Amino acid sequence: MIIAANWKMNMGFHKAVEFLASFNSLVGSEDKENFIFFPPACLSGLFHKENFYWGGQNIYYKAEGSCTGENSAKALREMGARFCLLGHSERRWTFGESDVDVEKKFSLLQELALIPVLCVGESLSDRFDREKILKRQLSWIKDYKKYEKLPWKPELLPKFFKDISLIVAYEPVWSIGTGDTPSVQELNETAHFIKDYLHLHSIKTFYGGSIDEKTVKNFSKCSYIDGFLVGGASLSAQGFYSIYEQCL
Ligand code: PGA
Tell whether ligand 1 has an atom less than 6 A from the beta carbon of residue 182.
Answer: no
In ligand 1, which atom is closest to the CA atom of 85? 9
Q: Whose CA is nearest to atom 7 of ligand 1?
A: 231
List 88, 97, 122, 213, catalytic entry: 88
DSSP secondary structure of 171-230:
--GGGTTTS----HHHHHHHHHHHHHHHT-TTEEEEEESS--TTTHHHHTT-TT--EEEE
Give 101-128 pLDDT, tens digit per residue: 999 999 899 888 888 999 999 999 999 9
Q: Determine whether 122 is an active site residue.
A: no
pLDDT band at 158 (very low <50, low <70, confident <90, very high): low
| pLDDT tens digits, 39-76 | 999 999 999 889 999 999 999 999 999 999 999 999 99
User: In a 3-state reduction of DSSP, which class is residue 193?
Assistant: helix
Q: Whose CA is nearest to atom 9 of ligand 1?
A: 231
Q: Once rounded to an integer, what is the mean pLDDT over residues 31-41?
A: 96
Could you give the angle at the alpha carbon of 1 between the alpha carbons of 117 and 200, nearest 5°? 50
Q: Is 201 a catalytic residue?
A: no
Ligand 1 centre to CA of 234 (Å) is 9
